[in-house]
Amino acid sequence: MKRTDIENLETKLLLDAIYKRYGYDFSHYATASLKRRIEHFLNESNHDKITETIPRLLYDEVFFEELIQTLSITVTEMFRDPFVYRAIRGKIIPTLKDLPFLKIWHAGCATGEEVYSMAILLKEAGIFKNFHIYATDFNNHALERAREGIYPLKNARISTVNYQKSDGETSFSDYYQSKYDSVIMNRDLKKNITFANHNLVTDSVFGEMNFIICRNVMIYFDKILQERVFHLFNDSLSIGGFLCIGSKESLQFSEVYDNFEEVARKERIYRKIR
């Protein structure tokens, strides 16, 4: 048996163990990305082979949480891709402002920077009291950071630039307090946000939403899992609701594509029409 075949077998054993012990299913994650992250975990945990980690993962939940941190993608920033937020301001908010109450699902929210960005945008749109954001992720460590809303002060500069490029209406510093080497998002922004654990791979429909944001998450999924998630979003959106995905993701070849119309091509924003 070739070395690559052995490594593939080891990877399958690892993923089977994780799923049967903890219920996390990584079997439909993009292979290349998954292997890179497993290799990184082996180096960080001082193991030479994947199979060396399996017995410990089965019995040591702390060790498993360390693996989850490695396998989970948490790359994000405030007002990431400002042109997307400009499109939301101009093409989505005017349509949704007339609703008596707005329900938003931010799926795969990671450490929460883009969730607070959306809350700021809605506050500036004058509908702060009329919306609720459900921010979900399967990474509990990332969710806790999101709940705290505390981020490195060194990131404030790029956050401010992104905010300005997104057509922000005031000073970004109005939305946080500085303390030591951190910025703490204002408490009032958190009033309309619920952070909760939800796994796109294994969990079911999440309410009846008016707007779903899931950006740069599905690029790490294979085609089978991407299709499952698109069905999940389709079933979770009300008629007339909007879906915003990542710039390298596309709804075009999904089975549910005919249920949507394209609102903004570059920004990957769609509206459910049936």
Residue 24 shares a structural domain with residue 139: no
Residue 53 shares a structural domain with residue 161: no
Residue 220 shares a structural domain with residue 239: yes
Residue 149 shares a structural domain with residue 244: yes
Dist. CA 32–CA 261, nearest whole Å: 32
- Crossing angle of helices 61-71 and 31-44, in 10° steps, is 130
Please state the separation of Cα 1 from the chain's center in Å: 39
Q: Which residue has the tokens 């048996």?
A: 1
Q: Which residues pair with 209 in a beta bridge?
A: 237
Residue 103 shares a structural domain with residue 200: yes
Residue 132 shares a structural domain with residue 255: yes
76 found inside a domain: no
Domain of residue 94, CATH code: 3.40.50.150
Residue 100 shares a structural domain with residue 216: yes
- Work out the average pLDDT over 31-59: 92
Give the total number of structural domains in the chain.
2
What digits encode the pLDDT tens for the residues 241-265? Answer: 999 999 999 999 999 999 999 999 9
Q: What is the overall mean pLDDT for the chain?
A: 94
pLDDT of residue 171: 96
Dist. CA 126–CA 212, nearest whole Å: 20
Dist. CA 159–CA 90, nearest whole Å: 21
Contacts of 61 (CB under 8 A, 6+ apart): none
- Strand 237-245 relative to strand 269-272, pairing: antiparallel
Residue 66 shares a structural domain with residue 88: no
Residue 140 shares a structural domain with residue 246: yes
Task: Please give the residue range of the domain that contains residue 63.
Answer: 3-71
pLDDT at 33 over 90: no
186 found inside a domain: yes
Q: Give the three-state DSSP class for 265.
A: coil
Residue 51 shares a structural domain with residue 102: no
Under 8 Å between Cβ of 79 and 163:
yes
What digits encode the pLDDT tens for the residues 194-245? Answer: 999 999 998 988 889 999 999 999 999 999 999 999 999 999 999 999 999 9
Q: What's the CA dihedral at 24, 27, 30, 31 to 10 degrees? A: 120
Residue 98 shares a structural domain with residue 151: yes
What digits encode the pLDDT tens for the residues 83-142? Answer: 999 999 999 999 998 899 999 999 999 999 999 999 999 999 999 888 999 999 999 999
Last residue of a domain, one of 22, 38, 71: 71
The pTM of the full predicted model, rounded to 2 decimals, is 0.91
Last residue of a domain, one of 52, 71, 90: 71
149 found inside a domain: yes
Dist. CA 197–CA 137, nearest whole Å: 5
77 found inside a domain: no
Quick one: tokens of 125? Answer: 């749109």
Last residue of a domain, one of 22, 51, 71: 71
Q: Give the three-state DSSP class for 102.
A: strand
Residue 87 shares a structural domain with residue 67: no
